[in-house]
Amino acid sequence: MTNNDFKLEQHLPLVAIIRGVQPEDAIRVTQILIEEGFTMIEVPLNSPDALTSIKRLVEHFGSDYLIGAGTVTTPEQARSVIETGANLVVTPNFNEQVVKMSALAGCVTFPGVVTPSEAFAALAAGATGLKLFPISMLGLDGFKALNSVLPKGTICFPVGGINPSVESMKPYLDLGAKGFGLGASLYKPGLSDDEIRANAKGFVEALANV
């Protein structure tokens, strides 16, 4: 799976952000999420020994899923992520070099943006889609205005504070969002396997009921 052949309709449009996961837990946690339908897994680089977790996930699950890093903020970090074999790069900000490097390496790339200038620059640099982060800065009105000027079909994923409920998701989907990035409301260190599974089920069911 690369940037060039990415088709969102082939994926559950929810990026699982497993911030804080330990390398020894990464495969088990990801297996639970995949069993519940998730196909896009992000290990933020500010997690413990994140590159080790990513490499283990890539080696275990192969290229059938989108597995990679979040919180990628520098070209040096992007290079390290690409060297693990990851095929997903997510950033909290727009860094042109990071986007270009990641796209050139064939990674599906979602840079974080909040303004039209950032959004158009990210798309011009080769971004697969846009991470609207933090979505609280845009809100529904801001997202509606931004999406109205973006190229038709632009993949926009609101991130930050999305909960497993129709009420949380539907307003953004109605305005053109294609999916979401999910953080602490899906996974955080210390949750039991049953809790992780229950959270995953909750998001999948809420999305299905929108």
Q: What is the mean pLDDT of the chain?
A: 97
Those residues with Cβ within 8 angstroms of residue 38's Cβ, 6 or more apart along the chain or in another chain? 12, 14, 16, 200, 204
* E strand intervals along 14-87: 14-17, 40-44, 66-70
* E strand intervals along 88-197: 88-90, 108-110, 112-113, 130-132, 156-158, 180-182
pLDDT tens digits, one per residue of 116-129 = 999 999 999 999 99
Q: Which is higher by pLDDT, 3 or 9?
A: 9
- Give the model's pLDDT for residue 1: 59
The answer to whether residue 100 is catalytic is no
The answer to whether residue 42 is catalytic is yes
Q: What's the CA gap between 95 and 76, in Å, rounded?
A: 12
Is the model's pLDDT at 55 over the cut of 80? yes
Q: Is 65 helix (H, G, I), strand (E, B) or coil?
A: coil
Tokens of 133: 């982060």
pLDDT, mean of residues 160-185? 97
Eight-state DSSP code of residue 85: T
Q: Which of 7, 35, 36, 42 does the annotation list as catalytic? A: 42
All structural domains of the chain: 10-208 (3.20.20.70)
Q: What's the CA gap between 100 and 57, in Å, rounded?
A: 24
The pTM of this model reads: 0.97
Q: What's the CA gap between 88 and 12, in Å, rounded?
A: 15
Q: Which of 7, 131, 201, 205 does the annotation list as catalytic? A: 131
Is the model's pLDDT at 192 over the cut of 80? yes
pLDDT tens digits, one per residue of 61-108 = 988 899 999 999 999 999 999 999 999 999 999 999 999 999 999 999
